[in-house]
Amino acid sequence: STPNSNMELLPLLLSLLALIVDKSRAQPSAHTVSKEDDAELNEFVASSNETSAESDPSNTQGNETSSQHCVAADSNADEGVDEIELPVMNHPKYEEEFFSLLNELNVDDWDVTLQQDQDMNYHLLFERDDILKTFPLPEIYNNLSEEEIIKLAVDYFDQQDEEWEEQELEHDQNPTKRPRTAKSRRLREAKILSLVYKKIGGSNILKTDGRWLSNEPVCRWYGVVCGHRGQHKAGMKGRNPTPPPDDAVTAIQLNNLDLDGTLPTEFAMMEHLSQLILRNNKIRGTIPPELAYASRLCVLDISNNRLTGSVPALLSTKTRFMYQIHLNRNQLKGPLPRNMRAWKKLWLMDVSQNGFSGTIPRQLAQMEDLAILSMGDNLFSGTLPLSLFEVTTLQMLDLGTNLLEGTVPYGIMNFERLYDLNLAENSFSGTFPSEVLALPELHSFIISHNMFQGTLSEEWVSDSKVGLIHASHNQLNGTIPRSLMVSMQSNLGSLDLSYNQLRGTMHTEIGLLTALHTIDVMGNQIEGTLPTEMLRMNPNLRLNFTDNMITGTIPPMFCGEGAPTNNILYREFGCDAVLCRPGTFNPHGHATLHSSCRVCDSILPEHKNLLGRVSCEGQHYVHGDLDGDGILSSREILRMIYIDNIGKWWGAAYQAWADINIHECELAGITCSGKRMTTIDLSNANLCSSSDRQPGPIKFCLGIPSEVGLLTDLDAFQATRRQYLRGTIPTEFGNLSKLRLLDLSSCPSMQGTIPSELGRLSSLRYLFLGHNPFKGTIPASLFLLTNLEKLHLTKNRLTGTMPTVLRATNLKELMISRNDVGGTLPTQIGRLGALENFEGYGNDFTGTLPTELGKCTSLKRIDVFNNKLTGTLPTEIASMERLQIFHVKENKLTGTIPSGIGDLPSLSWFDISENTIYGTVPMSFATSGSLKDLRIADNQIHDPLPQGLCENKSMNGGATQHSGCAGVACPLGTYENLGYANEQDVGCRKCESGQSTLYLGSTKCRTFSTYDILSMYYDVMGGSRAWPKEYRNTWQNESIPICEWYGIRCDDQGEIVSMNFPFSDDHYMFG
């Protein structure tokens, strides 16, 4: 016989059967907004040649024809470019692939042939020598001959330049063809921005301004600019653009909002968008090719995000109004597009600080107005293409920190407008290009860390504008010429020639460099004394002559006596801060904030008068040694911590840390027991910050020094919530056998792994390392610490699996949520008898919930939602009498709810949402006196709900007070975002016509297919258990048409007209 629970579902199943008839009469509507708009976007892209213009009356008023607006002209400006003969070009995915292939190849040098595979699908083959490239063609090509396909493909590529020129002319002449009303455009833009909000992770936008998604006009939404105010003003010579309507979105500027979604393709649907500025966020994913269809886009700034992948080839072939493109500070890679025909008017291109590779594109020469080109900090290789030097409009060229090689061609002299040049940190060689310094506008010249050779030129342009020359770490020789000092006396502010092979003496003309504030010639062979003419120079001049052959004395004016100074170096070390006095040394050649100049134990006669020595024969130097005794005291270590983390801006209370003469027990943040320092607490110090509490310079923030491991009496070290603290966790912390507390939580600028050496801290009770970007695995050694009570590793980037040897028998809190830890939960977790709180949500755990959890009788909280756990809920949970919170949402759990869980005396929160748990809610939950929240959404739970739950007025935040049982779970045929009626005036919403729900607590409705409905019948009616074998062999078999399932009868059109449905041994007919 049929179970009672199944009979209760029978009316619903019969009603769903009726949907089968409806499905044969009408197509179901899309049930999510995103699918509708994805389809709309595809339609938009496919027909982008028909992009509409406005019929708003404002178009005819005030006709701004100034050549200062960078904006697309008429709305059909790109028609002709998008009317592409190849069918493959009608979808951005295929067009992007095809463009990428054609850009990679030089088609003129390849033989193009066609081939059909065994499935009769066409592939284009590009052959040259022994290299073969293929491009699969969509099925639409199967109706064409080989000759037609080859002709289409090759002609398309060969005709691009001609079509482009025709399109340019058409852009200026063609009128609007398909106007859109202003009202429909405004509704469309609001809809697009709503989709953008969802995909880009826009919750922080609402925190900044609550008007987003409201009924306010979109032009008042935060970061949305309309009309001419959003247009970017730039040189548009020869253009006569039609101004956009005043209420059309022309710019989106959403910076510094921590947006953490993906880059929406919907931006391409905003027909007047001129500026898209999303810098300084956390946007992830790739740059969508569809963005190229924002044909009026003039400024694209998506810098300082977390974007990956490559630059779509379409972007540089369609966005012909692009004026500025900022892609810097992301994680992009691969070569740059080779076809940049659309970027002829590009003025700025910044792709620095990524992982781009390949060679410098020779197509840069096509850019007629390019002024700023920043490609530094990438993996570009090869030599400089000669075509690069045809871009005579360049004002800044940054190619520093790449893998470039070869020489610098003389063509660099074509850059008569060049202001900044950076070629540093490559492998350039050849003669030092001194002639570059004669460029009339050059100010900054940086070629450090290369292999340039030769001497510095004796011929210099008088009154040079050059203010900075950095040529350190090369192979230059000869002397520093007098002419350099004479010609640059008015403007040169920084001169770095360190680590070369320069020799000779320092000329007296150095005194002419009155604008100079920094000179560094360390690591050369310069000899003699410092000229007295240097007394004419800036008294605050920073000079570094260490590791040369300098003798004599240092003018006191350069040691802090020439002008008022707050420099702690000069106050403590005098002229040793410039050059170590004769008979002493420091690895830096001068005293530093960490250490003084130490006396040499022995010295060769020829070295006894040298200033600025970096070593003494056979003598070791102790880093941090301020008094020169070769021993590091605890006070000197505290000074190192202060200096390495920009202590100057920690705050007024911490300034005594700089004075080595103040005892450590008198310092802020230090606790002592007697005269023994036991605690360092820097949780109130502004570590690694600047004067305005912004991030301090990275090069001056070194983090916690390893010498902290010498503080063997330390009980506690705390530096929590220090957002600018950098560096790694020193492994030397493992030497602190008395340490009970280590708290480095919420320090998001730290990096590295969690050292396994922390497992040596036998006294450790509290380890707080959560909310950091630490990587690697969880050290197994931490679970061997028998005194450890709290281990917090939440929200890091940890991977691997959870250790299986668990001997931390005193562990009360284990928090490893929001990482990427996988594998199964170890059964040995049952040995953690003291465990009270286990949080492992937001990981990749698989397998089942260990039954051994039942042995953790002290557990109050189990929180493992958003994993990939399978299996059933262990009945052993019902024995955990102290359990208060059980949260396993968003897993793959199945089975029923163990009835004993409802009897737990302390249970207040029970959340099994978004699993496949089936059956009913046990009656024991209705009698619980502690339960406040019961979440069962998106499972396979069916009626009846225990009436006592519906009458519990405090359930789910009091939702039962106004909605009864719907406050526990939405009934069949209704839905709500949380699966229950959480809003009094809304309740659970009814499904639209043609849609329904299967179970209680649904968060969305769906359109059921005939297969879905019949499969549900099969399950509910016990088909797998009770039906005859001849029925079971055909039902739910997707390879057999439904009309051939046993007991199903269809008409000639394939529509079901009757079902012969078994109950026990009888057959019942439903028609």
- Residue-wise pLDDT tens digits, 793-833: 999 999 999 999 999 999 999 999 999 999 999 999 999 99
| Residue spans of beta strands (DSSP E) within 534-634 | 542-544, 549-550, 584-585, 598-599
How is residue 689 annotated by DSSP? B
Neighbours of 636 (CB within 10 A): 22
Q: Which residue spans within 515-666 are E strands per DSSP?
A: 518-520, 525-528, 542-544, 549-550, 584-585, 598-599
**CA-based nearest residue to 303, from 375, 239, 351, 265:** 351
Measured from the Cβ of residue 321, the count of other Cβ atoms closer than 10 Å reads 25
The answer for residues whose C-beta is within 8 angstroms of residue 606's C-beta and 6 or more apart is: none
Q: With contact defined as beta carbons under 8 Å apart, do 271 and 78 qualify?
A: no
Q: What is the pLDDT of residues 360-372, one digit of tens each?
A: 999 899 898 999 9
Distance CA 4, CA 873 (A): 24
Total Cβ atoms within 10 A of residue 617 = 11
- Which pair of tokens denotes residue 336? 């740059």
Tokens of 510: 């150095």
Residue 720 structure tokens: 């929590």
Beta bridge partners of 431: 453
Rg of the chain over Cα atoms, rounded to whole angstroms, equals 37
Tokens encoding 210: 């609550």
Residues 720, 726, 732, 734, Cα dihedral to 10°: 40
Looking at residue 400, its amino acid is G
Task: Tell me the residue length of the chain.
Answer: 1071
φ, ψ for residue 535, nearest 5 deg: -65, -15
pLDDT at 778 over 80: yes
Return the SS3 of 501. strand
Distance of CA 832 to the CA centre of its chain: 37
Asked if the model's pLDDT at residue 186 lies above 50, the reply is yes
Q: Report the distance separating Cα 877 and Cα 856, nearest Å.
A: 10
Most confident of 389-398, 452-461, 602-611: 389-398
Q: Which residues of 171-180 are buried (b: 16+ CB within 10 A; e: fewer)?
A: beebeeeeeb
pLDDT of residue 564: 45
Pair of tokens at residue 959: 């939702």
Cis peptide bond N-terminal to 944, omega within 30: yes
Other Cβ atoms within 10 Å of 240 Cβ, number? 14
- In the chain, % of residues over pLDDT 70: 79
Instruction: Kindly tell me if the per-residue pLDDT of 10 is higher than 80.
Output: no
Which run of H or of E encompasses 397?
strand 396-398
Query: Distance between CA atoms of 672 and 681, rounded to whole angstroms?
Result: 12
d(CA 467, CA 471): 13
pLDDT at position 1054 over 90:
no
**Is 490 strand, coil or helix?**
coil
* Residues contacting residue 755 through CB under 8 Å, at least 6 positions apart: 729, 730, 731, 733, 734, 779
Helices (H) and strands (E) in the chain, counts: 16, 54
Asked if residue 306 has pLDDT above 90, the reply is yes
Residue 737 clears pLDDT 50, i.e. is over it: yes
Lowest-confidence segment of 96-110, 654-668, 679-693, 782-796 by average pLDDT: 96-110
Residues 6+ apart with CB under 8 A from 143: none
Cα separation, 312 vs 844, in Å, equals: 32
Q: Select from 404, 401, 402, 436 the least CA-distant residue to 419.
A: 436
43 pLDDT exceeds 60?
no
- Report pLDDT for 681: 97
In sequence order, what are the residues at sequence separation of 6 or more whose Cβ sits closer than 8 angstroms to the Cβ of residue 29? 992, 994, 1007
Least confident of 374-378, 430-434, 552-556: 430-434
pLDDT at position 319, please? 87
Confidence at residue 70, expressed as pLDDT on a 0 to 100 scale:
53
- Cα 403 to Cα 424: distance, rounded to the nearest angstrom: 10
Confidence of residue 214 (pLDDT cuts 50, 70, 90): confident
Of 304, 227, 314, nearest to 259 (Cα)?
A: 304
Tell me the mean pLDDT in the region 259-284: 91
Lowest-pLDDT choice from 314-318, 455-459, 542-546, 860-864? 455-459
Burial class (CB in 10 A: 0-12, 13-18, 19+), 109: exposed
CA atoms of 195 and 257, how far apart (whole Å): 17
- The amino acid occupying position 71 is V
Chain position carrying tokens 């000179």: 519
Q: Are 844 and 822 in contact (CB under 8 A)?
A: yes
Residue 379's alpha-carbon distances to 355, 426, 513, 827, in angstroms, are 6, 10, 37, 47
pLDDT at 56 over 90: no
Q: Kindly report the average pLDDT of the chain as a whole number.
A: 82
Q: Is the pLDDT of residue 613 over 70?
A: yes
C-alpha to C-alpha distance for 134 and 656, rounded to whole angstroms: 70
Question: What share of the chain has pLDDT > 90, as a percent?
Answer: 55
Q: Are strands 885-887 and 909-911 parallel, antiparallel or unpaired?
A: parallel
Residue 1060: predicted pLDDT: 75
- Mapped onto helix, strand or coil, the DSSP state of residue 892 is coil
The rounded Cα 810 to chain-centroid distance in angstroms is 38
Q: How many CB atoms lie within 10 A of CB 773?
A: 13
pLDDT band at 994 (very low <50, low <70, confident <90, very high): confident
Report whether 516 contacts 542 (CB < 8 A). Answer: no
**What per-residue confidence (pLDDT) applies to 171?**
41
Q: What is the C-alpha separation between 254 and 256, in angstroms, rounded?
A: 7
- Three-state DSSP state, 266: helix
Are 525 and 547 in contact by the 8 Å Cβ rule? The answer is no
pLDDT tens for residues 92-118? 445 555 555 555 554 445 555 556 665
For residue 915, give both structure tokens. 């699993």
Q: Convert 124-154 to b/e letters by CB count within 10 Å (16 or more is b).
A: bebeeeeeeeebebeeebeebeeeebeebbe
- Nearest partner of 640 among 658, 662, 627, judged by Cα: 658
| Contact assessment for residue 808 and residue 834, using Cβ atoms and an 8 Å cutoff | no
Bridge pairing between strands 420-422 and 396-398: parallel
- Eight-class DSSP state of 242: P
Amino acid at 769: L
What is the distance, to the nearest Å, from the Cα of residue 885 to the centroid of all Cα atoms in its chain? 33
Q: How confident is the model at residue 127 (pLDDT cuts 50, 70, 90)?
A: low
Tell me if 373 sits within 8 A of 349, measured CB to CB. Answer: yes
The closest of 162, 405, 178, 196 to 291, measured between CA atoms, is 196
Q: At what angle do helices 182-200 and 33-46 cross, to 10 degrees?
A: 120
Q: How far apart are the first and last CA of the chain?
A: 22
How many CB atoms lie under 10 A from the CB of residue 1017? Answer: 21
pLDDT-wise least confident of 180-189, 829-838, 1053-1062: 180-189
pLDDT tens-place string over residues 903-930? 999 999 999 999 999 999 999 999 999 9
Q: How many Cβ atoms sit within 10 Å of the Cβ of residue 196?
A: 22
Mean pLDDT of 24-36: 35
